[in-house]
Amino acid sequence: MKVIAHKLRKNLAIIFAAAVCALVIFFIVKNPGLFQSSILSLGEKAFMNQQKRDAAYKTNKGPFEIFVAEKYKTTITSFEWIIYFDADKVQLETGNLTGQGQFTVKQTTKDSLLVTIKISDKIDTNSEIIGIPFSWEAKDIVLGESKIKTRKGRAQVTVGNLNNFVEHTK
């Protein structure tokens, strides 16, 4: 009788472990964005430099991502910008922000957000400074007025769109 009870417990444990593994795999497959990190390619970085952009954004294949130029790698202390979007065609998921600092998000109007990020250390300019997941139409999101605060003071930022670069190089 003990042998049968032991085998039954062992089989139930195997079935339970298999069910947990299946749920984990299902969750990972349904949420691939949890394990993605965007990187700025060498071509995109060169395009930013060529266009003399302090910041750039892209929206294709993932979240709305903002990148900062190499010259701000060690001097940036905060970055503030407004994101404009068509509220009828885009929904930003501000609860799922990813990035390299401490974020503050304020809804300024129905179709714009004011986002501030505070940086305590140097940033990785090859990775996005912030990523905001969104749903629906990527073409209806634009990065607007931006300001960078550095150790030397405040500066207005020139902004570019990397979607055009990605589309032309496919």
What are the pLDDT digits (tens) for 146-169?
A: 888 887 888 778 888 887 654 433
pLDDT at 18 (0 to 100): 92
Average pLDDT score over residue span 9-16: 91
pLDDT at 24 (0 to 100): 83
Pairing of strands 55-58, 159-161: parallel
pLDDT at 14 (0 to 100): 92
Q: Taking a C-beta distance cutoff of 8 angstroms, is the pair 113, 106 a contact?
A: yes
| Residue environment code for 155-165, b if the CB has 16+ CB neighbours within 10 A, otherwise e | eebebbebbeb
How far is 100 from 64, CA to CA, in rounded Å? 14
How far is 104 from 139, CA to CA, in rounded Å? 24
- Predicted confidence (pLDDT) at residue 23 exceeds the cutoff of 60: yes
Per residue in 129-147, pLDDT (tens digit) is 888 888 776 777 888 888 8
The model carries a pTM of 0.67
Residue owning tokens 């905001």: 132
- Taking residue 10's Cβ as centre, other Cβ atoms within 10 Å add up to 10
- Taking residue 75's Cβ as centre, other Cβ atoms within 10 Å add up to 15
Token couple for 158? 């020139």
Q: Taking a C-beta distance cutoff of 8 angstroms, is the pair 77, 118 a contact?
A: yes
pLDDT at 32 (0 to 100): 56
How far is 122 from 89, CA to CA, in rounded Å? 35
Question: For 56-70, 92-106, 152-166, which range has the lowest pLDDT when averaged over its residues?
Answer: 152-166
pLDDT at 143 (0 to 100): 82
